[in-house]
Structure 1
Amino acid sequence: MSEHLKTTEPTLTYVPWQQAAERIRAHGGAARIWASNAPADVFWFTGSHPMALDRDQRLDVAIRAQDGTLYAVTGISVGYNGDGPGWTRRLLLELGLAEDLAQRIAYSRVSAVDLENPAGALHTSLWPHFNLPVPHAYETVHGTVLRVTFDGDDVLKQDHPELTEEDRLEASHNGFYPAPHNTSRLRSWMGLLDSPQRPWWLEGTRTIELHTTYESAEEHGLVVPEKQHEVKGAVYPMRMSQGQVQTWVTWPLFPSEYYDRGEVGRLPAVAREALVLFGINPNQVQRLDSATGMVDVMLHKVAGFKRRNFYRFAIEP
């Protein structure tokens, strides 16, 4: 896990960039600065709780004052030639940063700077820095939950441990596009959930659900109305809960490079991989694959089936 990943829980105070310098100086001046072209990076840098986020505001720049007050500065951005980074540079100069440091933060894709140790700062063109999603509140039939979602590509794609930093820079056109990571997004997420450095709100017993029919998924609140789609697919046959966050997994309706529908009644590759990443023994996954009687859970309700349509597992992380 990156040394820049923090797991404390400050409260985020949102402030327009035009007012930020005055507010931060009133709290002793700037102590730490985090900025990224990927707002998820700034969330994980700061160690905030997901419920502290304002989903209507982008979190490109966060600044912690000397007294610990954490500001989410709105209306500015970093990492390209434009007004947003220019305003970031202007704010940092108002806060007393040297010109070269303000310039570097404003025009890097990702920065994490402790002003007491600027030599140890992170500045990079590779973004996102963390290959992690941000949990968001979501209304289900059973109430509000904190949720992250993954589709087939998130589970199986981009698992290339041989990628070097040069490879990633080239693939991103030196930061113009998001850089590929060495592991899939789900593998990175599970690395955080398995880590002893995980935030307190990810502590607890891990429970895993696998639904083999549309009816079962719908009954448990895992069928998303079309207008609320956030990723491909409206049905999430798999859910893992740990701490305060639920992880929902779906897979494409039709076969693709990353999804092999396989035999009727068997688990797709996405489901098998996700179960192993969740901590289920591969031998148990193989036995489950032969026993599930998986129907076309993604398509429609299937009447008349008399089979077990719901599996649950519990694991102590």
Structure 2
Amino acid sequence: MLTPDLPANENTRIKTLQNLNVLDTPPEQRLDRVTQIAAKMFNVPIALVSLVDKERQWFKSCVGLTASETARDISFCGHAILSEQALVVTDTLADERFADNPLVQGEPNIRFYAGIPLEHENGCRLGTLCIIDSKPRSFNTDDITLLKELAVLVELELVNKLPNTTDPVTGLSNKAGFKLLAPISLKVCQKLNLKVSVVYLFMKGLLSYRHDRQKYITILNTTAELYKTTFRATDIIAHYDENGFVALVSNADKHNTQELLDCLITQMNDVDFEVQHDSPIELITGVIDSSPFCDIDELIFNAFIKLHEQGEGL
């Protein structure tokens, strides 16, 4: 096993990482969504946002592992941050750097690793977005490009260079966040030849509750929670605008998505938003099948058209 060297700028790198105030903080949906997409995109059991600290690698986001950190001297990511290029190990047992590594010989039995360094704007590489499999596999230049696109999102999130992409009330993605994540999900569907559908839920009458802030927030949060439990972690869901919620559903046609939506509406009617209504809220939906080769604006436009058809002009 080869222990990773220290980068030439190690002192600055550690200081930069610590100044982000992200180490040992709770998981965040904005990053978890990226690792979930990565795991699905490449059909791997493990995807991580790993930050390389002084003596450990710590996982800010983790799919497929229960551990929150490992020692730096046995980490793959410690090697990955030594270069600006992707580190791809197609078979760890054939690589003298890793063949006898404890993470290869024991849990999680790493046989494949691909990691993209996460770079701060000052040039320091702080960690990686990486994917791991327990069996050898190939990884071509197109795959590297897709993983890099996801890594860019992580970089932007970590150093707060993104515009606000999270709705402050519901914790879901907002319109800006949806428009960042949805195109990547479409690329996943293109790569895996999966069906795509889009659902838009319009809550007619919702804005009449804005005079009662607490009631308005209760309605939004109840709807958001039901959206999260109805749709899957890999679906892209958002509080898209003041009146509505949207979901980009992968590997599902219109019929499958309509079943999910019917379940959602039944639950919403059952809980009655946990508030005493002054006036009724009418739920109007639009569901469409689409090609993953459409751009996101076209998808949303088509969903709006369907919504207006259902709502007779709203």
TM over 0.5, yes or no?
A: no
The answer to which structure has the higher helix fraction is 2
TM-score, normalized by length of structure 2?
A: 0.32
